[in-house]
Amino acid sequence: AGYIGPAGIAFVGQFTNFFGILTSAGGAGIETGVVKYVAQHQGNDTNVRKVISTAAFTVTACSLIAALVVFLFVDYFSNLLFKSLEYRFILQLTALSLILVSIKSLLMAVLNGHKEVTKYTWINIITSLSTLVLSLLLVAKYRLTGVLIALVACQFLGFVITLFFTIKYHRFKINYLFQYFEWKVLKNLSAYSIMTVVASLTFPFSLVIIRNYIGSHLSWKEAGYWQSIWMISEGYLTFM
C-alpha cells in the first residue's frame, strides 16, 4: 500500500478478481469432480487416467477460449478494470498463462484426490512464499506495474512447483494428461461444475462492479480504502 497507494490497491483488487474469473472459466469448475473420481477410482489405473486426461483436454479447451476472448477484447477489459490502456499487456500475459494455471489446478486436484495432503500443503507454502518474495522485489522497483506482473509471474512459478511435486509422485506420469477423452467422464465431471462456475464468475464480477461504482462516483482512492477494508475482513474471516 505504501508503494502503490490506495488507488493502486483498488486496481490490484480489480485485476485479482478478473484473474479469478478467468481461472474459473478456464478450469471449467471440474476440480471438485476430479478430486471425487480420482479418489473413487484409486486402484483402477485406467479409470484414473481417463478422468485426468478428459479433464486435461477440457480445461485446455476452456482456457484457450477464455484466452481468445481476452485477446479479442483486451482494450475493453483494460478500460473496465483500470480505466486505461496502459496495462493491456498485463491482460495479454494473463491470457497466455491461463492454460498453465488451469493445468496447475488440475494437478492439485489429482494430488488431493490421491490424499497427498503433505505434498498439497508444501506446494501451497512454497508458492505463497515465492509469491511474497517476488512481489516485494517487483513492487519496490515498478510499483503498480510490478505488483500486476508479479501476480501473473507467480502463476507460472506455481505451475512449475506443482509440476515438480506431481512428477515426483510415483502414481502419476505426465503423459496421463492427454491420453483419453470420454464424453461419459466429462458428463460426470460437469455435474460438479455448474454451481462452481456460476459462483466463481458472479461473485468476483460483482466486486469489480462495486469498485467501478465507487471509483466513478467518489474516487479511486476511496475505492482503494474500500478494497483494503474488504481484504482485512477476508483475512479476519480466514481465522474464524
| Dihedral in degrees, nearest 10, Cα atoms 30, 33, 35, 40 | -160
What pLDDT was estimated at residue 198? 77
For 43, residues 6+ apart whose C-beta sits below 8 A from its C-beta are none
Q: pTM for this structure?
A: 0.84
* Residue 72 pLDDT: 92
Alpha-carbon distances of 22 from 38, 75, 219, 233, rounded to whole Å: 25, 16, 27, 24
Give me the residues of the chain with pLDDT under 50, please: none
Residues 126 and 119: their CA atoms lie apart, in Å, by: 10
pLDDT of residue 68: 94
- The DSSP code for 175 is G
Q: What is the pLDDT of residue 2?
A: 66
Task: Tell me the C-alpha distance between 172 and 104, whole Å.
Answer: 14
- Three cell numbers, residue 164: 515438480
pLDDT at 65: 92
Cell numbers given for 179: 491420453
